[in-house]
Chain A
């Protein structure tokens, strides 16, 4: 009961800050994701009921936009840019090198200990420094597979 209460307390605060306004669904989901790092299912239903709208509608928005995730992500999120500029500068080899390093198979994106999650994103807008990737909030430019692997080693320490 207690943990449930604290779970919904945060959502209630966020809903209140957005004055229970249906049209502010996207900012609401953003704030929720900021808190929980993902969008838990029961919270989505709670939001739908609070905004007097259908859970399907909320789920529809949450799955439409790529920024939202319904799965729990790793402690460190590595966003590898695969925009055109990074792509022509071989961002693929970065993805391969990092997946290799973290022992991730084809369709796996998070390490078993959920320490790292790898994502490819369509463009980070730092094309001048291609290829780039983001680890949490820090951006690293003009990367090579070697440098990327070194960086992961450093974080693992």
Chain B
């Protein structure tokens, strides 16, 4: 039988002579920025400088440990390098900076100011001083960005799999469900259904075989929390699954990962293999007599497979199409057997509840929504990235305190840039300035026509046309509709066509009322969550940005200057004839003599914005 304490002791012993640790972020964002090259360069340069750096925690190693981590959250400032125990966080680290870091921060313990985040000129040493981190409450993603996600022993050494051991060896299935129910944990994948209730439903089924599925098919555009957790803390999810399996009586499970998330697939597979090797998964786990085998399955790119029954169909090798409920998956799911489906983040929260109890979990959050929630903060904000805050935090705290404010087209923060925030992806809605102080929890969001959803937060500045955003989401849901229900298949398509007409100036006032009517019909008449929530972006923009719709149909004008059919470009007198725009224009629509005001041929112009971006004199305007 596996002995967690023994592993912990041996990891601690191996690390006895390790005095420092360099953690290079290897989340998707930082990898895109070149963090792997930075990692490799640390090994080479350390050798050149004669600094003892090892990449593995083995007995006899001395000096500094160099390791990779999952997403540290501060994506826009990547590649990130964290130095422990000094807790220094360096941002935008390039290969050229490696030598300086090794010489100054590792050898001499000094800080390199230019690589630190600067908050209005004040140098911030690490996460404790950076506003982006300081104002968060990181619990679920706390370990992402610190530990090595590919090292199971390290996970165990910081207390991992203790909750699984406790649940398997000391608790009954009912006790586990009771704790989760008492904690009031609600599903983090969208609807916010109480997890304890779901587990109890499955637990009470009498069947010879039960399944559990982790839904890692995060298809929401603008959301990447599940990805970050799978990449940064895969063992946390497996531990949650082991507990869930014990609680519901399942002996087989699947982790369904989106195929686009190559790194998450790789790390989940490795984690499952490692956990099976040390017998955290398999037969007679922790000597409790409980068996549980886990498979990793890659999705194949269908948003609708986020829906439980559609997901089950695709695991069975069929097209991912939903069916009417009941029966619920808890009664009859995968191959007709009781099946529990939980989201990645939900499962990653479970070990904490088992370890510390329901009361500790209930300390954060609101009366009806307990705990914390991760959000993917993107769009026009100063600092984009992955954040975790207690449920009940306000949009104002998130947008202005944590992420540093709303940016304009050139990336600088000014007051009054904020226009709207889209929350919860295609199933959610758009909120405005009046909602900035609204408490973000499952119930209050539902009241204003939005939802927590998977937790995507897209902040938009004044340059964004809300009709266009509604159209964008309709385009997405139209592509992703499985086509089973007429209202979803045809209705969404017609809604998209109406929205296209509005943005192209071909619609009248009747179009808007027809659009609204159809949106309500699709909401009522669709079978699954995709169709039922697809009209949300349209209805919420109609509610809060009606004047923009009106401007499009009545005045044939796009107030944000975004809808291509309703705008034109013009070169003003500020033009000094530098020819940059004419050279850059891909359509060759700009002409003019050097040092003379240029002209745009409207017929040729493809309205690509390249001229506006390339003009140093702000001489091109949208009219």
Binding site for B on A (CB under 8 A): 21-27, 29-30, 57, 60-61, 64-68, 82-85, 87-90, 93, 96-97, 100-101, 121-130, 132, 137, 139-141, 144-146
Taken together as a complex, chains A and B put the C-alpha atoms of A88 and B408 apart, in Å, by: 12
Does residue B464 face the partner (Cβ distance < 8 Å to A)? yes
Contact yes or no, B222 A141, CB < 8 A: no
Closest B residue to A86 using CB positions: B221
Which residues of chain B in 200-228 are interfacial with respect to chain A, using CB atoms and an 8 Å cutoff?
Answer: 218-224, 227
Closest A residue to B380 using CB positions: A88
Does residue B379 face the partner (Cβ distance < 8 Å to A)? yes
Q: A97-B608, A100-B586, A127-B224 are in contact. Are A23 and B31 (CB under 8 A)?
A: no
Instruction: Tell which of A124, A128, A139 touches B76, judged by Cβ atoms closer than 8 Å.
Output: A128
Does residue B613 face the partner (Cβ distance < 8 Å to A)? yes
Chain A interface: which of B134-142, B259-267, B549-557?
B259-267
Closest A residue to B564 using CB positions: A92
Contact yes or no, B458 A88, CB < 8 A: yes
Closest A residue to B224 using CB positions: A125
Instruction: Tell which of B315, B376, B482, B606 touches A127, judged by Cβ atoms closer than 8 Å.
Output: B376
Complex interface: chain A residues within 8 A of B384 (CB): 85, 127-130
Complex interface: chain B residues within 8 A of A97 (CB): 586, 608, 610
Complex interface: chain B residues within 8 A of A82 (CB): 221
Taken together as a complex, chains A and B put the C-alpha atoms of A129 and B319 apart, in Å, by: 33
Q: A66-B302, A130-B378 are in contact. Are A144 and B317 (CB under 8 A)?
A: no
Binding site for A on B (CB under 8 A): 28-29, 31-33, 75-76, 78, 218-224, 227, 258-262, 297-303, 314-320, 335, 376-380, 384-386, 422, 425, 456, 458, 460, 464, 469, 472-473, 476, 479-480, 482, 584, 586-587, 606, 608-610, 613
Measured CB to CB, the closest approach of chain B to A22, in angstroms, equals 6
Taken together as a complex, chains A and B put the C-alpha atoms of A128 and B221 apart, in Å, by: 12
Contact yes or no, B479 A85, CB < 8 A: no
Contact yes or no, B301 A65, CB < 8 A: yes
Taken together as a complex, chains A and B put the C-alpha atoms of A67 and B615 apart, in Å, by: 40
Contact yes or no, B301 A88, CB < 8 A: no
Taken together as a complex, chains A and B put the C-alpha atoms of A144 and B609 apart, in Å, by: 11
Contact yes or no, B610 A93, CB < 8 A: yes
Q: A85-B379, A93-B609, A130-B384 are in contact. Are A140 and B317 (CB under 8 A)?
A: no
Q: A84-B473, A96-B608 are in contact. List 5 more A-B contacts (CB 8 A).
A: A21-B317, A30-B298, A61-B317, A68-B301, A127-B376
Q: A26-B297, A60-B319, A67-B301 are in contact. Are A122 and B476 (CB under 8 A)?
A: yes
Measured CB to CB, the closest approach of chain B to A126, in angstroms, equals 5
Complex interface: chain B residues within 8 A of A65 (CB): 299-302, 314, 320
Q: A60-B319, A88-B464 are in contact. Are A125 and B218 (CB under 8 A)?
A: yes
Contact yes or no, A26 B28, CB < 8 A: no
Complex interface: chain B residues within 8 A of A83 (CB): 221-222
Instruction: Tell which of A67, A122, A123, A146 touches B479, judged by Cβ atoms closer than 8 Å.
Output: A122
Q: A88-B379, A88-B464, A90-B609 are in contact. Are A141 and B221 (CB under 8 A)?
A: no
Taken together as a complex, chains A and B put the C-alpha atoms of A82 and B221 apart, in Å, by: 8
Contact yes or no, B32 A129, CB < 8 A: yes
Complex interface: chain B residues within 8 A of A122 (CB): 219, 221, 303, 476, 479-480
Complex interface: chain B residues within 8 A of A90 (CB): 609
Instruction: Tell which of B218, B224, B298, B299 touches A126, judged by Cβ atoms closer than 8 Å.
Output: B224
Instruction: Tell which of A57, A60, A141 touches B33, judged by Cβ atoms closer than 8 Å.
Output: A141
Complex interface: chain B residues within 8 A of A85 (CB): 221-222, 378-379, 384, 458
Contact yes or no, A22 B317, CB < 8 A: yes
Contact yes or no, A126 B29, CB < 8 A: yes
25 interchain pairs, CB-CB under 8 A: A23-B316, A23-B317, A27-B297, A29-B300, A57-B318, A61-B318, A64-B482, A83-B221, A84-B425, A85-B384, A90-B609, A97-B608, A101-B586, A123-B223, A123-B260, A126-B29, A126-B32, A128-B376, A128-B386, A129-B384, A130-B379, A137-B262, A141-B33, A145-B586, A146-B610
Taken together as a complex, chains A and B put the C-alpha atoms of A141 and B224 apart, in Å, by: 15
Closest A residue to B386 using CB positions: A128
Taken together as a complex, chains A and B put the C-alpha atoms of A132 and B458 apart, in Å, by: 16
